[in-house]
Structure 1
């Protein structure tokens, strides 16, 4: 659940194993570390959670609001059935915090809130079970839960609470970490494991056990015979930066996951509104290839058709639920261009080509690099487009900003019946000034073992834009590895306001037997205007893009919490600043400077609202070059001056990292940040 009072409780979430995977900028990830040895601890031998649990948890969508009640929970169970989520594999309908009264009864038992659950918890569990689904509940391994109202926790009441849960019909327990009184984590969580076992023996009710101690005590090292899944990170929020940070922390823990014992990078945010559908597809793709639990965190009562399409994609879910139970591992990660591959039980490989950057990127690998056997060709199945192709061994694509191409590649001998895979590409800057022609070059490359015939390409822009081809847009035949390259002139209207716009690159081709195939690549271009001459506060200028570890980037206030506009005056070591940017590591804010600016200056430091835990590194990047860096700063330090020469740069990036210590609660201020042009 969310920690409502403060994020300073989210501590260290990964050890040295993860450090090699944490990018040094918002757009860069270093070379991955060597795989770790598999853990020595055996998994629980009880037959539960042989694949990652799938279901729903109410917290992200309702928190503790009055709408969290019996009717809402029953409604979610109905939606599971009516919308096909049950058929797609979702099982658990789970309650989070705020279901109980603040005090136990005279016998020390938990009491459901009669306003929320007038018929008790068992009645809700019975209803969920009547739909062929399973039911989950929440408490904390402390004296109270994490909510500020202070509902009863289970510390010292483990056996009684576990028995009560089992008698109610609970199938899943999420066990949080607040108010734990400093009791050793392994001891606290092991006691509840033993209590659940005892309750199961007496009632016949097995309960999946979800350990939620935020990765503070590295549970992947010891919890495989304690729980069925364990949180590896602090809480997720509905932002690209938060999802990306958590993804990077969870990826290197692949050796610790398997049937009955899973790494849990927190719930899904798909559909909550803080990210685009492209980003949500990436979120769902990467959680699936990491064999993560898939717990829906959006309000299904008001979810869009696109949300249901993402959550209900059975081909992607099959990657998550593959019975071999391997978590995907990083093949490469240079420059924010990630290749993550997962071995499947049938010998195929699921492959995610994931682009963490703010512009389209070509991402490539090969069947050999994935560990597939040598073959004349391979079948490549696009799991979002639901189409199959043949490839001679190359797996590559131009992936939109923040996008993911998820494919399944197999040496199944069936490749010849499919048309050849083609790769769409783009050369040239996607930054366009109003009224000024810009040159772009597109490519259509045959990746297949068979030739692509009758190839045709088109490029279309928004209404009012001019898009003109300056070279051929068709080819009669493309042999393996050959490309049709087309030059274009693109002009935005003179009155086009700054912002992001979409061009659509589309290609059609046929296999030698005449099977038609179509490929589409959405391309985001930015209409940009150079900053004014003189000195400008960066908080007053539009940015090209921003990514933030928690909540949005704030102008002239601190980061605050997860909502927009909830920050405080920028304050570093007691000094208040009127202007600047409030961010949360890891964070990147990009500005178009159009080769017209010379300097960036700022007073940088950890904001005082952080408390005593913060440590952050501030960096200024000019195009692809790091122009200045502070090194690690803590909240004990006063703001430090930071300046950089950015002469000749087209794009300037302000980057904050977590200082390399794995802490995710880092509020950082770019106070008095200004740009000289």
Structure 2
């Protein structure tokens, strides 16, 4: 396998490069490159649990209690899956009483939400609940909405002793709101509620919906506001229909690829969220929506990316082998690594990809060899792509067996739609390079082919860029000792090359096109603006795993490396019908883009008439 073309690699600064950085001292200003982040931090590592939507649709109190007991009895709770999260459908048909307070559905939750929360807490579980950031529209597009009631709803959830809140955006989409400001208002209300509650943002709007929208309204750009607003944020649309449906494997890849675009936004306490795990949901003919191998691939890739692990399937229906896979402690340990660095793509070809994730400790990587194809294939990881040298120990995490020590590379056969999940232990290969500049904050080195750009921040906070070619820097010594992998990478500004220049961090976010260079950092890079400039690179502090930070020290070469997303995207549009005949999206929007693209019409509980029994369709008025 060849390294990804144009795998521009940024090295996470003082920890990796010999750039003089002032030593920390009393009264020193914070790193100008470190963006603020949401401060509640109830999840120092990615949270885990189960959500009602993909497994139950409109849940009932009895079902939720039964599954809570199953989580405890099956060992899933002891493995970390400890949040029981109500999605839409818990609310009454008229979601507010005469005083404006939210009320539970009297038939589905006759004991009320506080009693259910107490039941969960007694079993050592946490309770999650659902609302929408938009204005309730009578059930046309959402089952409830908190806009106009942010403070009241946040305090009510706190009073119920809820531990986690999911905030959808269905009515927000209908109102054409910008999600960032709306979510920020709700997040501020949660912060003032008097209870620490995990906050998950769910804006599902992407081009897949077929609805005109601005870049700011697109789910792919949630990385702009997510880290300062919530503990996690969806990075794409829903991964599947509410009802199990054949052909969902391409959508797993679609959500995985979208989640890979902005790993620099992730860190301890704030996470990119590619949606829930949907292992082995049963179709009407008795077969599975995803095979055991495909389901394991989703789990492995979510763990590699340090994503929240929330089971969406009804766990009571899963084969014991799948339960054991979900509980695999070595897979979970990668997801729960305290550095919370998102693994990124370091090599790719027509068959699949290699992902590498830096783990806590010297010379440790978690590596995935992904086979996207329909046939088994031999896959290889070059250790240099993971920033390792010398003899490298290989352990198979799925089999929980050591595979010996190897030099240079490791090759293994990977099943169709499958993965090999490895930990590598070797010597960090990070020689570093003297850039001959002084920075008041986090410097970064970016390589795109033989083109090298150096980003630093001055004392006034301005971002400085210097660009040249490998071995021929525009000023100072040649930039030649650049590790092949490490840090994060960004697209250099197209208008600032060859000389020192201050670059702007303004501009609306844009979704990177497939195959173009996009950020691929696990905590060491910054964000990219519409003009391609790099903004707000976080500081590579010890808490983010960058290692020593005093001048001249060099350490971990492979904080991250990668390239833009690749792979299939869903062409289908989703149509859902309320039980009284209304459609969502409205007629003329969300239609298939080609005759072969599926149009699905299903009963959608949460509209103004009672829901039909059984499983529900995708994205009903309440999800």
Cα separation, partners in 2 of 1:96 and 1:559, compared to 1, 3 Å: closer
Deviations 1:544-578 (A, max 9, x none): xxx98559xxxxxx987699xxxxxxxxxx9xxxx
Give the alignment partner of residue 359 of structure 2, picking from 336, 340, 344: 344
Give the alignment partner of residue 224 of structure 1, picking from 224, 227, 233: 227
In structure 2, the partner of 1:389 is 403
Cα separation, partners in 2 of 1:32 and 1:292, compared to 1, 3 Å: farther
In structure 1, the partner of 2:275 is 266
Deviation at 1:29, TM superposition (A): 12
Unaligned runs of 5+ in 2: 13-32, 206-217, 282-287, 429-566, 578-587, 601-618
In structure 1, the partner of 2:198 is 208
CA contact (8 A) 1:548 1:584 kept: no
Give the alignment partner of residue 308 of structure 1, picking from 323, 326, 345: 323
Cα separation, partners in 2 of 1:256 and 1:121, compared to 1, 3 Å: same
Cα separation, partners in 2 of 1:191 and 1:560, compared to 1, 3 Å: closer
Give the alignment partner of residue 371 of structure 2, picking from 355, 363, 370: 355
Deviations 1:433-492 (A, max 9, x none): xxxxxxxxxxxxxxxxxxxxxxxxxxxxxxxxxxxxxxxxxxxxxxxxxxxxxxxxxxxx
Asked if 1:166 is matched to 2:167, the reply is no
Bigger drift between 320-329 and 403-412 goes to 403-412
TM-score (ref. length: structure 2): 0.60
Counterpart-to-counterpart distance in 2, 1:360 and 1:130: 46
Deviation at 1:52, TM superposition (A): 0.9
Deviations 1:502-522 (A, max 9, x none): xxxxxxxxxxxxxxxxxxxxx
Counterpart-to-counterpart distance in 2, 1:50 and 1:352: 24
Deviations 1:351-407 (A, max 9, x none): 0000001112221122222112x33x2221101111012122322212111110001
Cα separation, partners in 2 of 1:146 and 1:409, compared to 1, 3 Å: farther
Give the alignment partner of residue 312 of structure 2, picking from 297, 311, 334: 297
CA contact (8 A) 1:145 1:176 kept: no
Deviation at 1:411, TM superposition (A): 2.7
Asked if 1:34 is matched to 2:8, the reply is yes
In structure 1, the partner of 2:529 is none
Deviations 1:494-545 (A, max 9, x none): xxxxxxxxxxxxxxxxxxxxxxxxxxxxxxxxxxxxxxxxxxxxxxxxxxxx
Deviation at 1:307, TM superposition (A): 1.9
Deviation at 1:47, TM superposition (A): 3.2
Q: Following superposition of structure 1 onto structure 2, how do residues 559-570 of structure 1 map, counting pairs within 5 Å?
A: none
Deviation at 1:185, TM superposition (A): 1.6
Counterpart-to-counterpart distance in 2, 1:310 and 1:561: 34
CA contact (8 A) 1:549 1:584 kept: no
Higher relative contact order (CA 8 A, sep 6+): 2
Counterpart-to-counterpart distance in 1, 2:598 and 2:259: 29
Asked if 1:81 is matched to 2:72, the reply is yes
In structure 1, the partner of 2:47 is 53
| Higher percent of residues as strand | 1
CA contact (8 A) 2:395 2:402 kept: yes
Partner SS, residue 123 of structure 1: helix
In structure 2, the partner of 1:96 is 87
CA contact (8 A) 2:573 2:598 kept: no
Asked if 1:190 is matched to 2:164, the reply is no
Give the alignment partner of residue 131 of structure 2, picking from 130, 133, 139: 139
Deviations 1:14-64 (A, max 9, x none): xxxxxxxxxxxxxx9974653689985322233322111100001001112
Structure 1 or 2, whichever has the larger Rg, is: 1
- Alignment RMSD, CA only? 3.1
Counterpart-to-counterpart distance in 1, 2:61 and 2:289: 27
Number of equivalent positions? 400
Cα separation, partners in 2 of 1:293 and 1:182, compared to 1, 3 Å: same
Deviation at 1:78, TM superposition (A): 1.1
In structure 2, the partner of 1:591 is none
Deviation at 1:105, TM superposition (A): 0.7
Q: Following superposition of structure 1 onto structure 2, how do residues 573-652 of structure 1 map, counting pairs within 5 Å?
A: none
Give the alignment partner of residue 112 of structure 2, picking from 81, 106, 120: 120
Asked if 1:279 is matched to 2:253, the reply is no
Cα separation, partners in 2 of 1:412 and 1:99, compared to 1, 3 Å: same
Partner SS, residue 102 of structure 1: strand
Asked if 1:368 is matched to 2:384, the reply is yes
CA contact (8 A) 1:358 1:402 kept: yes
CA contact (8 A) 2:380 2:410 kept: yes
Partner SS, residue 136 of structure 2: coil
